[in-house]
Chain A
């Protein structure tokens, strides 16, 4: 009991002080510039009560989950395959690195003018934002498998399938999870970018509408909401990563 209090007390105090500063600063500044914490919460409550917000959140969630799932389904096997085929990996590694270093947002205008405003181009954006984190980390992990492990498996006449099942996948999974944790963050950026710059839907549309109406409280409310969602997803990602990291060494 004492331990929990000691751990959570600084957190609660720092959050309380932060909210207090926000509240006081909000009361003393122009309402178009900064609104107090209480007004932000009030606006958030209103947005929820209109009923539209839940639907928008669901739209965003479907987009996020679809894109991220595709990225994992493609990135993980592709990464392991590259790890097994050294020749192919050496050949295409530099290109993967170049794409990984390119800001994916720059491709959004091309996707827009080629694929238009449907659901598919948005999923593509989320997918592109997320897939290279999964791929990159999986390749990194699979590369670091000790050759002895594979040699021993081979010398016991292990089949290719058994090699994947017993060596490759268990060994690489923690690294893939690191990739997935990064991909969650990137997919979230991709989701909002797709909702901003392709057809306006979901939580991105909520922010856009608020900012176009100079509804500062609405902007703060939706940023607060996305921020909390981001923090929550990061927590989940780190939990998953740590769970799998236990057998890493």
Chain B
């Protein structure tokens, strides 16, 4: 997935004029038009409680200074972070095993692909049966949601390690574990990061659906509660925060890749 916002190389001459014809101006203009349309449509056709830009902007300071909201945000984020850590540790171990051992690959591949194809939301009833309506059910859902994309990507990365490196290492009598840690792990990092990006998005979705389903505290429940009581503007601030998390994590991983893995070029994968 390359970034949508990258500009085309063949369209360069258009961009050298004034600010008013620049891409930034177009984007700002489009943003303003979208907001105006939204505001207009809601004012003209929708009931008063429906979220609209002016209402959401007014709600932002109120919601952000609400301790209940901050607590909800912290709960959801902490759960996602915990779940991701579990998924990263488990996923890296299983992924490396699958990438480097034909037996593990043959035994596990169908299951991993199968679980990845299961819509993660269907495990909610099972998680609530197993863990009750508690935050453990949310944690388990997050792990289920994020684990398989990490495994699949780490396994692909471990498989793509250049044979030359491994041959040189083994001709110097390097041990299997040593080669795993010093060669396979670092060279599959870009794949791991691609998996982590997917997993982070999925973990947020997992957390939100688990909160909808079990009604435990968090941003998802905050959104559910406020929209049920017709406080759509307030609820929408929660959606904005989720979008900010999703986008922020994307940017963080992209920046981290550029900074720490400058040797990695996305195009080389094809």
Please give the residue numbers on chain A whose beta carbons come within 8 Å of chain B beta carbons, in ascending order.
10-11, 14-15, 17-18, 32-33, 86-87, 90-103, 105-110, 112-114, 136, 139-140, 143, 147, 185, 188-189, 191-193, 196-197, 207-208, 210-211, 214, 216, 219-220, 222-223, 226-227, 230-231, 233-234
Apart from the given pairs A108-B212, A214-B129, 5 other A-B contacts in the complex at a CB distance below 8 Å: A18-B111, A94-B27, A103-B204, A185-B117, A223-B118
What are some 23 contacts across the A-B interface (CB < 8 A)? Answer: A10-B106, A86-B11, A90-B26, A91-B26, A91-B30, A92-B34, A93-B5, A97-B5, A98-B243, A98-B247, A100-B4, A101-B246, A101-B247, A103-B246, A139-B4, A143-B8, A185-B117, A189-B119, A192-B119, A196-B121, A219-B125, A222-B122, A223-B118
Can you name the residue of chain B whose Cβ is closest to the Cβ of A14? Answer: B107
Task: Tally chain B residues at the interface, Cβ within 8 Å.
Answer: 63
Cα–Cα distance between A114 and B232 once the two chains are bound (Å): 10
CB neighbours (8 Å) of B121 from chain A are: 105, 189, 192-193, 196
Can you name the residue of chain B whose Cβ is closest to the Cβ of A107? Answer: B239
Cα–Cα distance between A233 and B239 once the two chains are bound (Å): 30
Q: Scan B241-257; emit 1 where CB is below 8 A from any A CB, else 0.
A: 01100110010000000
Can you name the residue of chain B whose Cβ is closest to the Cβ of A87? Answer: B26
Within 8 A of A (CB), among B116-148: 117-126, 128-130
Cα–Cα distance between A108 and B121 once the two chains are bound (Å): 14
CB neighbours (8 Å) of A112 from chain B are: 227
Cα–Cα distance between A92 and B201 once the two chains are bound (Å): 22
Q: Is B46 an interface residue (CB 8 A)?
A: yes
CB pair B201–A216 under 8 Å, yes or no, is no
Cα–Cα distance between A54 and B39 once the two chains are bound (Å): 44
Query: In the complex, which of the residues A87, A110, A197 contacts B212, with contact meaning CB atoms closer than 8 Å?
Result: A197
Q: Is B228 an interface residue (CB 8 A)?
A: yes
Q: Is B238 an interface residue (CB 8 A)?
A: yes
Max chain A Cβ within 10 angstroms of own Cβ: one of B125, B129, B247: B125
CB pair A103–B201 under 8 Å, yes or no, is yes
Cα–Cα distance between A234 and B115 once the two chains are bound (Å): 12
Cα–Cα distance between A93 and B109 once the two chains are bound (Å): 36
CB neighbours (8 Å) of B23 from chain A are: 90-91
Contact A223-B122, Cβ < 8 Å, known A106-B239, A193-B209: yes
CB pair A211–B120 under 8 Å, yes or no, is no
- Min CB–CB distance B42 → chain A (angstroms): 10
Q: Is B230 an interface residue (CB 8 A)?
A: yes
CB neighbours (8 Å) of B242 from chain A are: 102-103, 106
Cα–Cα distance between A18 and B224 once the two chains are bound (Å): 39
Contact A207-B125, Cβ < 8 Å, known A107-B239, A223-B118: yes
Please give the residue numbers on chain B whose beta carbons come within 8 Å of chain A beta carbons, in ascending order.
2-5, 7-8, 10-11, 23, 26-27, 29-31, 34, 46, 50-51, 106-111, 113-115, 117-126, 128-130, 201, 204-205, 208-209, 212-213, 220, 223-224, 227-228, 230, 232, 235-236, 238-239, 242-243, 246-247, 250
CB pair A17–B107 under 8 Å, yes or no, is yes
CB neighbours (8 Å) of A86 from chain B are: 8, 11
CB pair B120–A189 under 8 Å, yes or no, is yes
CB neighbours (8 Å) of A87 from chain B are: 26
Query: Helix, strand, loop or mixed for chain A's interface?
Result: helix
- Min CB–CB distance A188 → chain B (angstroms): 5
Cα–Cα distance between A139 and B51 once the two chains are bound (Å): 29
CB neighbours (8 Å) of B111 from chain A are: 14, 18
- Min CB–CB distance B234 → chain A (angstroms): 12
Query: In the complex, which of the residues A11, A102, A108, A208 contacts B110, with contact meaning CB atoms closer than 8 Å?
Result: A11
Q: Which 4 A-B pairs have the closest CB atoms?
A: A211-B125, A91-B30, A109-B227, A91-B26
CB pair B7–A110 under 8 Å, yes or no, is no
Cα–Cα distance between A80 and B207 once the two chains are bound (Å): 34
Cα–Cα distance between A33 and B5 once the two chains are bound (Å): 48
Contact A102-B246, Cβ < 8 Å, known A94-B4, A147-B10, A231-B117: yes
Query: In the complex, which of the residues A33, A92, A101 contacts B243, with contact meaning CB atoms closer than 8 Å?
Result: A101
- Min CB–CB distance A114 → chain B (angstroms): 6
CB pair B29–A91 under 8 Å, yes or no, is yes
Contact A105-B209, Cβ < 8 Å, known A92-B30, A188-B119, A231-B114: yes
Contact A14-B246, Cβ < 8 Å, known A92-B30, A110-B51, A192-B121: no
Cα–Cα distance between A193 and B122 once the two chains are bound (Å): 8
